[in-house]
Structure 1
């Protein structure tokens, strides 16, 4: 079993990590404000599944491969960078075709729940820093008096369930804020372009980020 004396500190750390600005929060905020709370929830579920996989990777020691074989980390980073760059350019192209080339505002094509789920999951799995963070963060709250494997699994699942609840709540907040801003500033026709720039920013952030830390 885990050491329950460290649980309050662990939960506080989980909360801070989830609400800190990053790719996950950016995705949830972007799509929740554009397509509503269901879209944010779909991305959140994708992130949740990715968290389960990352916890299992850490528990089974697979995350160490990224440090033992640096080329794996480089390859994963390249895949993530190209994926986000492709999404960003596609959204900008869609914005130009539906928003700029037409004199009248055109309703942008919303992504399905399955597409958003996949985007949320890939956002984590194609980011080597996320997996390395799991590998560095979770063991800090383990102790030698119990099975390390079970401790990692327990702490990992606590972390991803906390993230699930917080991200669902943030989806509601961003959805409400997005509707108010869209009605007030009439920015709906530019959302695809904004999202495209955000994805390109994610690509650059991943490409030029250090392999140290999360």
Structure 2
């Protein structure tokens, strides 16, 4: 298994508050994908898109990213063809607040993962609302597991049969849910530290998390972008 990471260097045309940044990046990626027939079909279809992106770096202490400054963000995918095509078109869109100056694509081979941290909030929808502190951790773990198994089986066409969670332990890293704008709503998510078991299936699911993101809204709003240790 590999995942592929596209680092984009971007010039910001106008100030953007932090809770709008991921929507801005997502809109730029979406507009770019419409410039390629294959990517346009991916964008329009329902189901998993198999990519995730993070937010702008370096972070701004006042939470406002500044017009006239240069930042970077990353896009990850387990699909080499998909992310290579995105690389080819992402500099062509000039209609938004982001001007992509350069891109660099790297391959990350399968690594042994002991811990996962999501650097953008992870979103879980339950009963038409968002999971928040105080809700069931057992439900959270189960939904994380189910989501990753579905992604893995859908992409690789290989069944995963296990009754055991790949999660050895999970820690909530924020006191209040973190809200990011998406269309007319605010997505409320959380940041987690996840301890990963050592067996083969657990490692496959952990690596899938790095390549596609944790839980929901990965490709639309960059939610659940993870780093591993």
TM-score normalised per structure 1? 0.26
Structure with the greater relative contact order (CA < 8 A, sep ≥ 6): 1 or 2? Answer: 1
**More helix per residue:** 1
* Structure (1 or 2) with the larger CA radius of gyration: 1
**More strand per residue:** 2
